Amino acid sequence: MVYQIPPEPAHFVDREDVQARVLRLVEERHGTTASGARPLCLAVSGYGGAGRTELAFRLVRRVAERYPDGVLYVDLDDVRRDGVVELSDVLGDLLRALGADWIAPVFRERARQYWSLTHGKRLALIVDNARYGTEAESLLPASGESLVIVTSHGPLYDLQAGAAVELAVDPLAEADALELLERVARDPRLAAEPDATRELLALCGGLPAALHVAGLWLRRHPGRPLPRLLKALTAELHDKGLPMVERVWDAAYRGLSEEAALLYRLLADFPGPSFTLAAADALLGRGAEAAEDALDELRAAGLLDGASEDGRERLPELLRAHAGRRARADGDAGDRDAARRRLVRWYVRQAQRADTVIAGSRLKLAAEMPPVPGTYDVLFERVDDSTGVSAKRRAYQWLEAERHALFGCVRLAYEAGAAEDWGTAEAWALCEPLWTHFLDHPHYADHIEAFRTGVAAAQRAGDVPALVRMRCQLARPLWEQGEFQAAEREMAQALDAVRAGLGRSDEERRLGASTTEFRGMLRAAQGDWAGAAACFEESRAVHEEIRNGYGVTLQTYRLGEALAHLGELDRAAELLARARADFAADDRARLASRAEFALAGVLVRLDRTEEARALYLAALEGTRGRGGSRDEARVLDALAELAEGEGRQGEASEHRAAAAAARERSGLA
């Protein structure tokens, strides 16, 4: 009996569900009397390094006794030339393995000879690295008692429906990846240094091939601290890739069309962990259909993780590194520069559009980014939308879903501005809509880094108004994180710039009034409510002079909050009620909800609890309508305190649990 698969590896984890399913299928097939002449065919797909070949070997080992006439293996990438497999040669190898006395000279005759030799036999055949279903179909034994496992980088779309049982091999989950790494390395550093271990697992991306390489590095360098070893291994994998798997990825890359190969190389520079078709279109710059076709190719080649339930594509870190190596070897610097510029400007434009949908008319200094040629805009407003999701909610959701790319584009633009004729203005312009994002979805480390970059970009550009605005935006997350001295420095420099560099136009006076408001908010955060009230009064007076109604309403709200803290409850209630009504009339849902929340707090202190409860519930509905987890948690805390004060402990517990869940969603737990 011929047996062409290697011995079992020392370590193998997970895949129990797939193995159990295959065992059931084999049992069912052998329990059927009329199985026909078509073998049981399993299509195992997953990108290189995910362990699909080893899984195929394992499956065959577990059922080998069912196939006493032979276990055969062919790797189509071994005989692929310029993307094409000479199937006649593969049939020749199979015929020789099956003991054929002679080999027919041409493909058609070899196929008939193969069918004759395999008819009625119980064979197991692994066809590794197929790119097309037709390649596998040509190699099927003519026996319903046989088993064929076909592995491929991606789904074999040209197979007829039902022609094979499809089994997708995903990267290992973190717990399984850790188990495999521990088995391979047997190293106490993994338990002793959990943070570095998590980084190591993230680098390996759940790929068994990468985990084996990492385990061998650990065994080879037992005395090195894990963080140092991680740094060296990261450089090694990004520079050279995974042994053996690199050959698979290169083969998949060489089979791509020109546009798919270009998109793959450009994705190495994409500034986020995941992306949409619209972003890929902006990166490629050849139209949405070309981008869609290229993505289809990359999925089929196993060079993408594939679209998830949220419609986003993911390029795992090690595949991104491979794309970078191909870009350095085959790419054109001009293509890369044009793609980065196109992508950054597309993101600036979409973020500005989302900001306008959410916040309407507000103080914005950057010019509106014009449409980017060859791309299309995100449709925040849909004419026939049956989901019930508002345009504002969609815009908020887009900013949150794209935040990593947006933060990355700020860095990308700033770096480009150091050497090229673009990037500096785009870097600080993108920080303006990121401010709107911050107000409801604060990611402090990322927002602080982005706003620092915005300050540096405005300084580089010599744009005084932009510099004032960026310093104010940076100050707030700093003081919210307790970094009051750093926030004071930013505000002092912003105010100095206002006094020294701004003129007397209405727009410049509006910016000055906004800076005074920020100073007031900093005073409030430090507990100086009298100082805060004075700043808000000063700012409101300027807005009244320049007839900026929104500014007047905003400072009315701020002043109402300050007076509430100073104990002037009746006046505070009057101002907050006025601000709430004006915000609602102007369709500013976020600020209306915040005014409702502040007013409810004042009414509780005035023993008007029923009115307060109604306002809290209205504020809760508003925050949930836009996905503002931070404000949602605050309102729920207040409702819990109100219920607790009235003896409704069960209701209070429900509100506190919901508040904890909201904070967890936003990373604020």
pLDDT value of residue 384: 47
β-strands 80-81, 84-85 pairing: antiparallel
Q: Which CATH architecture has domain 247-331?
A: Orthogonal Bundle (1.10)
In 3-state terms, what secondary structure has residue 314?
strand
Domain 16-168 sits in CATH at: 3.40.50.300
pLDDT value of residue 666: 62
Q: Which amino acid is at 95?
A: L
* β-pair partners for 45: 152, 168
**Residue ranges of E strands in 291-385:** 313-314
* Cα 661–Cα 406–Cα 466 angle in degrees, nearest 5: 110
Rounded to the nearest angstrom, the gap between the alpha carbon of residue 373 and the centroid of all alpha carbons in its chain is 25
Rounded Cα gap, residues 516 and 523, in angstroms: 11
Mind spelling out the 3-state secondary structure of 503-536?
Answer: CCCHHHHHHHHHHHHHHHHHHHHCCCHHHHHHHH
Nearest residue to 615 (alpha-carbon basis) of 583, 593, 637, 645: 593
Rounded Cα gap, residues 416 and 403, in angstroms: 20
In 3-state terms, what secondary structure has residue 607?
coil
How many CB atoms lie under 10 A from the CB of residue 54? 18
Q: What CATH fold (topology level) applies to the domain 586-669?
A: 1.25.40
Give average pLDDT by consecutive 10-residue segment, the chain, 669 residues.
87 84 86 69 86 90 92 90 86 92 91 93 93 89 92 81 84 90 90 90 87 87 86 85 81 89 95 92 93 90 71 86 93 93 97 92 90 90 60 89 96 92 95 94 94 97 94 97 96 91 83 95 96 96 93 94 94 93 87 89 89 86 73 85 86 87 69
pLDDT value of residue 309: 59
Question: How many alpha carbons lie under 13 Å from residue 381 in its C-beta half-sphere?
Answer: 6
Residue partners of 582: CB distance under 8 A and separation at least 6:
549, 553, 556
Query: Residues 353, 343: contact at Cβ < 8 Å?
Result: no
Tokens at residue 610, please? 């029923």
DSSP 46-105: --TTSSHHHHHHHHHHHHGGG-TT-EEEEEGGGGEETTEE-HHHHHHHHHHHTT-SS--S
Residue 636 belongs to what H/E stretch? Answer: helix 629-645
Rounded Cα gap, residues 281 and 175, in angstroms: 36
